[in-house]
Amino acid sequence: MKHADRTFKYYDFFMAAYVCILLCSNLIGPAKVSTVHVPLIGSVTFMAGVLFFPISYLFGDILTEVYGYARDRRVVWAGFAALIFASVMAATIVHLPPADWWASKQPAVETIFGSTPRIVAGSIIAFWCGSFVNSYVLARMKILTSGRWLWTRTVGSTLCGELVDSALFYTIAFYGSWTTADLMQVTMTQYVLKSGWEILATPLTYKIVGFLKRTEHEDYYDRDTDFTPFSLRA
């Protein structure tokens, strides 16, 4: 049976979980900026979503490692479509005229869901580009390492994907509004936090990947894969 024709026990669950995490981290996460004190480092300020968004990269690593680039590509497009819909829905809800008895709550709705077009565009574009870079690098590294040293692929691909994601998002969303120094500082802080998350999650990644490979009887190598992102073919 061809890889594209196979059905898998857990693939659909991972797709649903991936989209859920992506939507929550992009809709709920930006609603709060937090400052915490880190020993030896000091106070660190970040958008709360940075604690959860890296989970989507963890899922992307697992999907590419087990099922291959093409199947992860379908998941990325599903997440992209969900973000577009959520952004349109949020904008519609914010701009609908409130009922008289609801008017006092309108500022809260605007604060939580009223992202500017630049922030929305930055979030969607950065996610799309960063996710495909992450998946592509991991798939290529798997072939180069002959499937050995999984940690090098998960960490290496995340470092590349998160760099693209962070650089694009903050540049598109805030360039010209923030000073160059502030833009660089926040971008690097977010990049280090998100990449560090992936490194800490490496033992969990190993366990999930091992479980899926045994259960699904799949360990795909993208030797003949068409790596164009503009396709839904598995």
User: What SS3 state is found at 99?
Assistant: coil
Q: How confident is the model at residue 136 (pLDDT cuts 50, 70, 90)?
A: very high
Q: In the block, which residue shows the tokens 């802080």? A: 189
Of 20-29, 86-95, 133-142, where does the model show the most confidence?
Answer: 133-142
Cβ 53 vs Cβ 194: under 8 Å: yes
Percent over 90 (pLDDT), the chain:
65
Mean pLDDT for the stretch of residues 129-139: 98
Mean pLDDT for the stretch of residues 145-157: 96
Mean pLDDT for the stretch of residues 194-208: 92
Please report, for the chain, the start and end positions of each structural domain, with discontinuous segments joined by +: 3-216
Residue 71 to residue 73: CA distance in whole angstroms: 5
Residue 89 to residue 67: CA distance in whole angstroms: 32
pLDDT score for 125: 96
pLDDT score for 4: 66
Which has the higher per-residue pLDDT, 160 or 4? 160
Q: Answer yes or no: is pLDDT of 3 > 70.
A: no
Cβ 49 vs Cβ 25: under 8 Å: yes
Q: Answer yes or no: is pLDDT of 118 > 70.
A: yes
Class of domain 3-216: mainly alpha
Mean pLDDT for the stretch of residues 31-58: 81
Q: Answer yes or no: is pLDDT of 2 > 80.
A: no
pLDDT score for 148: 95
Q: Answer yes or no: is pLDDT of 1 > 60.
A: no
pLDDT score for 64: 98
Dihedral of the CA atoms 91, 94, 99, 100 (nearest 10)? Answer: -150
pLDDT score for 178: 86
